[in-house]
């Protein structure tokens, strides 16, 4: 459930998603509010990753469940949960075209991946948190 206060260390904040695609600007605003007080460069990287993961979730799945932001001592974890079983493709960049999203996520993140359990999928990325 969305909260009205900034995230503190160890907190997880969830933004419910659904069949109707939200405005990416509204999603970024929500994340920015959750990360109030965090380093502005770190927040900018998180916003780019969130933008790509939410866009991909709506492009490749029928109905994403939620976006989660978890602030930990030295990292910020982003998760998008949905019901798709397909592994998102990571494309090699050789010429201009669509499909740079996960390449961008990989470059900005310390780690990223896909977890599958109970018929659902969580695409996640971990970014460094400036202390």
Mean confidence (pLDDT) of the chain: 83
Work out the average pLDDT over 100-123: 88
Work out the average pLDDT over 36-43: 94
pLDDT (tens digit per residue) in 61-74: 877 889 999 999 99
Q: Which residue has the higher pLDDT, 111 or 5?
A: 111
- Which residues touch 88 (CB under 8 Å, ≥6 apart)? 56, 60, 102, 114, 123
Give the confidence band of 28 by pLDDT, cuts at 50, 70, 90. very high
Work out the average pLDDT over 70-99: 71
In this prediction the pTM is: 0.81
Say if residue 95's pLDDT is above 60.
no
Backbone dihedral region for residue 7 (phi beyond 0: left; psi -120 to 50: alpha; all else: beta) = beta
SS3 sequence of the chain = CCCCCCCCCCCEEEEECCCCCCCHHHHHHHHHHHCCCCCHHHHHHHHHHHHHHHHHHHHHCCCCCEEEEEECCCEEEEEEEECCCCCCCCCCCCCCCCCCHHHHHHHHCCEEEEEEECCEEEEEEEEECCC
Say if residue 103's pLDDT is above 90.
no
Q: Which residue has the higher pLDDT, 130 or 70?
A: 70
């Amino acid at each position: 459930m969305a909260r009205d206060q900034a995230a503190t260390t160890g907190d997880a904040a969830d933004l419910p998603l659904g069949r109707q695609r939200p405005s990416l600007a509204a999603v970024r605003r929500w994340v920015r509010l959750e990360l109030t007080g965090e380093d502005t460069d770190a927040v900018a990287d998180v916003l780019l990753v969130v933008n790509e993961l939410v866009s991909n979730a709506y492009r490749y799945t029928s109905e994403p469940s939620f976006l989660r932001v978890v602030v930990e001592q030295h990292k910020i974890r982003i998760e998008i949960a949905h019901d798709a079983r397909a592994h998102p493709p990571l494309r090699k960049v050789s010429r201009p075209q669509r499909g740079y999203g996960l390449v961008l996520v990989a470059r900005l993140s310390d780690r990223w991946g896909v977890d599958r359990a109970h018929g659902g999928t969580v695409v996640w990325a971990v970014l460094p948190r400036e202390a």
